[in-house]
Amino acid sequence: MNKLTLRDLDVQGKKVLMRVDFNVPVKDGVVGDDTRITAALPSINYVLEHGGSLVLMSHCGRPKGKKNPEFSLKPAADRLAELVSAKVTLAPDVIGPEVKALVDELKAGEILVLENVRFYAEEEGKAKLADDATDEEKAAAKAEMKTKQDAFSKELASFGDVYVSDAFGTAHRAHASMVGVTKYIDQCAAGFLLEKEIEYLGKALESPVKPFVAIIGGAKISGKIDVVTNFLDKCDKILIGGGMAYTFYKAQGKAIGGSLVEEDKVELAAQILKQAEEKGVEFLLPIDNTVADAFSAEANVKVVGDSIEDGWMALDIGPKTIELYCDAVANAKTVVWNGPMGCFEMAPFAAGTFSVCEAVAKSDSISIIGGGDSVAAVNLSGVADQMSHVSTGGGASLEFMEGKQLPGIVALTDK
């Protein structure tokens, strides 16, 4: 962690422009799950306790660059006001003279929440291009958007004396509120949440305590190719579950019935299996499967080995595989998990995912859970508090695990 952190900043009497991730589910104007808001509280409270004021930026949903009350940050601001003792004000907009006036009036110990930064197309910086646009028209539109994004970033940056990023969930996006503002503020630091993400994920990938076990699941290989490839050089064991397992089955010439398969990735799956063997990585695939005759919780269900007949589809790992995977996890010292073992949302196919959850929770390992479905599964299983770290970033944690540099981290000030 060679970046400035919030502890390195003197925030006394300063306005702190902070990017948080308040992209929370809202129903009837009320926040359904406030996990992301509570996750930002340590950084928010630190600034308030050390004599600073806060200007918070976040996105919520996909308003596609237009002001849309459905995606207002009002519910998030209201929930924040219930969680802190400070005065919380929601700005009527993201930028503009009215917002600037509210920033200027902000006193130490107070919070101003800007409206949804994605109400402006300049946040994401995507130029609108007609399908029949020429190369010259595309280049001109992109250049115009870059100019607008720079101006938008500069105006946002004018609201803070220092900048803090605590939004790991969007750290893989080179957006105005993540990267653009850092060009106009001298000191740009990581908040406590971002620092924790980098610390856990970074250590697991750079110098993991061995044995290192990766559990990779989910529907498709295509979304996890780079993660698997990156882990082949770091892991002692890789456990594969979810729909992606059956593309590997197909590569081994096994019958998969109606199970999910990516035909265009079968050759790649064969290459990964060969690489694992060459590198001495134990690459575990399901040895038995829970199969159904339809994709439904009401379907007929049975357990079969590693050959699936026509008319049946694998929707979870089987009991022998659960035992095998739990044994592998029990001896691990570092576990990174991304992707469920089956269709855990349906009760008949949840045993694999929840059993592995419990095994990871019981293990004497540094356990890191990344990816939306894995996090949801761990929360549902009730063992989230027994994991070392549950990542707040789906796409960001995935890209970090792939070994990619995240723009929102790179942009922060070096120590």
Extents of the domains making up the chain: 6-193, 201-401
Strand spans (E) along 32-115: 53-57, 88-90, 111-113
The whole-number pLDDT of residue 273 equals 96
Question: What does the pLDDT average to over 237-264?
Answer: 96
Annotated catalytic residue, options 36, 118, 224, 265: 36
- Place 17 in a pLDDT band, splitting at 50, 70 and 90: very high
pLDDT > 90 in the chain, percent: 79
- At residue 329, the 3 state secondary structure works out as helix
Annotated catalytic residue, options 61, 65, 395, 403: 395
Question: What does the pLDDT average to over 224-239?
Answer: 90
Cis peptide before 211 (omega within 30 of 0): yes
Closest CA to 216 of 203, 201, 232, 200: 232
- Separation of alpha carbons 139 and 142, rounded Å: 5
- Separation of alpha carbons 76 and 82, rounded Å: 10
Question: Quick check: pTM over 0.85?
Answer: no
Q: How far is CA 308 from the centre of its chain?
A: 33
Per-residue pLDDT at 25 exceeds 90: no
Closest CA to 55 of 180, 154, 156: 156
Is 13 known to be catalytic?
Answer: no
End-to-end CA distance of the chain: 9
**Residue 268 falls in which region: left (phi positive, over 0), alpha (psi -120 to 50) or beta:** alpha
- Separation of alpha carbons 103 and 112, rounded Å: 7
Sheet holding 301-304, edge to edge: 301-304, 289-292, 313-317
Contact (CB, 8 A) for 398 and 338: yes
- Separation of alpha carbons 83 and 174, rounded Å: 30
Question: Which residue's entry shows tokens 């060969």?
Answer: 274
Residue with the larger pLDDT of the pair 4 and 205:
4
Greatest mean pLDDT among 114-123, 190-199, 366-375 lies in 114-123
Per-residue pLDDT at 398 exceeds 80: no
Annotated catalytic residue, options 148, 220, 333, 362: 220
Q: Into which CATH architecture does domain 6-193 fall?
A: 3-Layer(aba) Sandwich (3.40)
Q: Regarding beta strands 289-292 and 301-304, do their DSSP bridges make them parallel or antiparallel, or are they unpaired?
A: antiparallel
Give the tokens for residue 151: 């101006």
Using alpha carbons, list the distances in angstroms from residue 178 to 145, 166, 170, 174, 337. Answer: 17, 10, 8, 6, 26
Per-residue pLDDT at 393 exceeds 80: no
- Separation of alpha carbons 235 and 334, rounded Å: 9
DSSP 131: T
Give the tokens for residue 249: 């089955």
Using alpha carbons, list the distances in angstroms from residue 309 to 8, 95, 134, 244, 303. Answer: 61, 60, 51, 18, 12
- Separation of alpha carbons 258 and 63, rounded Å: 38
290-316 pLDDT tens trace:
999 999 999 999 999 999 999 999 999
Question: What does the pLDDT average to over 40-59?
Answer: 98
Residues 68, 71, 77: CA angle, nearest 5 degrees: 125
**Residue 159 falls in which region: left (phi positive, over 0), alpha (psi -120 to 50) or beta:** alpha
Give the tokens for residue 387: 């994991």
**What CATH code is assigned to 201-401?**
3.40.50.1260
Written as one string, the DSSP assignment of 6-22 is: GGGS--TT-EEEEE---
Per-residue pLDDT at 264 exceeds 70: yes
Q: Which residues are registered as beta bridge partners of 334? A: 212, 366
The whole-number pLDDT of residue 390 equals 85
Sheet holding 334-338, edge to edge: 282-284, 237-240, 212-216, 334-338, 366-369, 389-390
Annotated catalytic residue, options 61, 65, 223, 372: 372
Give the tokens for residue 202: 């970074």
Asked if domains 6-193 and 201-401 share a fold, the reply is: yes
Question: What does the pLDDT average to over 401-411?
Answer: 88
State the virtual CA torsion across 169, 173, 177, 181 in degrees, nearest 10.
130
Which stretches of 12-67 are DSSP H helices? 35-49
Question: What does the pLDDT average to over 66-76?
Answer: 96
Is 395 known to be catalytic?
Answer: yes
Taking the alpha carbons of 23, 29, 35, 40 in that order, is the dihedral positive or negative?
Answer: positive
76-87 pLDDT tens trace:
999 999 999 999
- Separation of alpha carbons 401 and 197, rounded Å: 12
The whole-number pLDDT of residue 1 equals 66
Contact (CB, 8 A) for 76 and 114: no
Question: What does the pLDDT average to over 377-406?
Answer: 83
103-124 pLDDT tens trace:
999 999 999 999 999 999 999 9
- Separation of alpha carbons 286 and 176, rounded Å: 44
Question: What does the pLDDT average to over 34-54?
Answer: 95
